C-alpha cells in the first residue's frame, strides 16, 4: 500500500521574524508507524525539496525515540530532503494521506489550492485522510462533493485554543485550529492540554497535538485494515 505525507513549505512565524515549519515528532512518529507496517511512503510539499523544520521541535526537550531514530536514518533524511511538488501528486497513486503539523501549515497548506483539491479528491474516493496537531487546520476550506464543509457534522480534534495560548502564539497565528474547525461545523473534541488524543469519524482521522502523532497514524492503519 502507498501513503502520501504532505508537509509545509512555510518557514516564517507571522511577522515575528522567527522561523517555523513542520514539527519533527509529528513527521517522524507517523513515518515510522507507516514504514514499520510496510507502507510505501511518498513525501510532498507545496514547493518540493527540503521542507523547513521548526527549530523548536529539534531542541533536546522535544526529542523522542522516533526523532532520534530519524536523526540516525540516512535514507529517511534523504527522502525528506527531496519531497515532491504537491501539484504533481495524483490521488489515484495512493491509498491514504497524512498531514503532519507544526505552525507552517496554517500559512501555506490551509490556503494551497493543490492541497485543498487533493484532500477533496481523497475524501470523495473514500480514502483515509489524517492530520495531526495544527494540520487539521488545512481542512478549513475543504468541501465534500455536495459542497458542504468536509468537517461539518464530523467528530474532530486538533491543537486546542488553550494549547496555542500555552505556547504564546494566539495573537501570531493566522487562525486558531479549534475555532476554525468549529466554525466549519466540526464537532470538536479534546483531552487535557498535551495529552494523547485522536478521533476517527468515517475515513477522517485527526490528532490533537504532537503527543497524538503515533496514535493518529495507528488509527489510519486500522482504516487500511493493517
pLDDT tens profile 133-191: 999 999 999 999 999 999 999 999 999 999 999 999 999 999 999 999 999 999 999 99
Tell me what pLDDT residue 120 has.
Answer: 98
Query: How far is it, in rounded angstroms, from Cα 25 to Cα 212?
Result: 10
Tell me what pLDDT residue 13 has.
Answer: 97
Tell me what pLDDT residue 175 has.
Answer: 98
103 Cβ contact list (under 8 Å, min separation 6): 13, 20, 21, 54, 134, 169, 173
Containing domain of residue 14, as a range?
Answer: 2-223
List the CATH number of the domain containing 53: 3.40.50.880
Tell me what pLDDT residue 12 has.
Answer: 98
Tell me what pLDDT residue 61 has.
Answer: 94
Considering the entire predicted model, what is its pTM? 0.98
Cβ pair 106, 136 in contact under 8 A? no
- pLDDT of 16-71, one tens digit each? 999 999 999 999 999 999 999 999 999 999 999 999 999 999 999 999 999 999 99
Tell me what pLDDT residue 21 has.
Answer: 98
With 0-12 / 13-18 / 19 or more C-beta atoms within 10 angstroms meaning exposed / middle / buried, residue 75 is exposed
Tell me what pLDDT residue 206 has.
Answer: 98
Number of domains in the chain: 1
User: Computed over its alpha carbons, how large is the radius of gyration of the chain?
Assistant: 16
Tell me what pLDDT residue 83 has.
Answer: 98
Query: How far is it, in rounded angstroms, from Cα 212 to Cα 200?
Result: 13
Q: What mean pLDDT do residues 120-139 have?
A: 98
Query: How far is it, in rounded angstroms, from Cα 202 to Cα 10?
Result: 30
Q: What mean pLDDT do residues 108-132 have?
A: 98
DSSP 8-state assignment for residue 88: G
With 0-12 / 13-18 / 19 or more C-beta atoms within 10 angstroms meaning exposed / middle / buried, residue 117 is middle
Tell me what pLDDT residue 159 has.
Answer: 98
Amino acid at each position: 500500500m502507498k501513503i502520501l505525507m504532505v508537509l509545509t513549505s512555510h518557514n516564517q512565524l507571522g511577522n515575528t521574524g522567527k522561523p517555523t515549519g513542520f514539527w519533527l515528532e509529528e513527521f517522524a512518529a507517523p513515518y515510522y508507524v507507516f514504514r514499520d507496517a510496510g507502507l510505501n511512503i511518498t513525501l510532498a510539499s507545496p514547493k518540493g525539496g527540503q521542507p523547513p523544520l521548526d527549530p523548536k521541535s529539534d531542541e533536546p526537550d522535544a526529542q523522542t525515540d522516533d526523532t532520534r531514530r530519524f536523526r540516525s536514518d540516512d535514507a529517511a533524511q534523504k527522502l525528506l530532503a527531496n519531497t515532491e511538488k504537491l501539484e504533481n501528486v495524483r490521488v489515484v497513486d495512493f491509498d491514504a494521506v497524512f498531514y503532519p503539523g507544526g505552525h507552517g501549515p496554517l500559512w501555506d497548506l490551509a490556503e494551497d489550492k493543490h492541497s485543498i483539491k487533493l484532500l477533496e479528491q481523497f475524501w470523495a474516493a473514500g480514502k483515509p485522510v489524517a492530520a495531526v496537531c495544527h494540520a487539521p487546520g488545512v481542512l478549513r476550506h475543504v468541501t465534500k462533493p455536495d459542497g458542504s464543509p468536509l468537517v461539518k457534522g464530523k467528530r474532530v480534534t486538533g491543537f486546542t485554543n488553550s494549547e496555542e495560548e500555552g505556547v504564546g502564539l494566539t495573537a501570531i497565528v493566522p487562525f486558531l485550529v479549534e475555532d476554525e474547525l468549529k466554525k466549519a461545523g466540526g464537532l470538536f473534541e479534546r483531552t487535557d492540554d498535551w495529552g494523547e488524543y485522536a478521533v476517527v469519524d468515517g475515513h477522517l482521522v485527526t490528532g490533537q497535538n504532537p503527543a497524538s502523532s503515533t496514535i493518529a497514524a495507528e488509527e489510519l492503519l486500522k482504516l487500511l485494515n493493517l
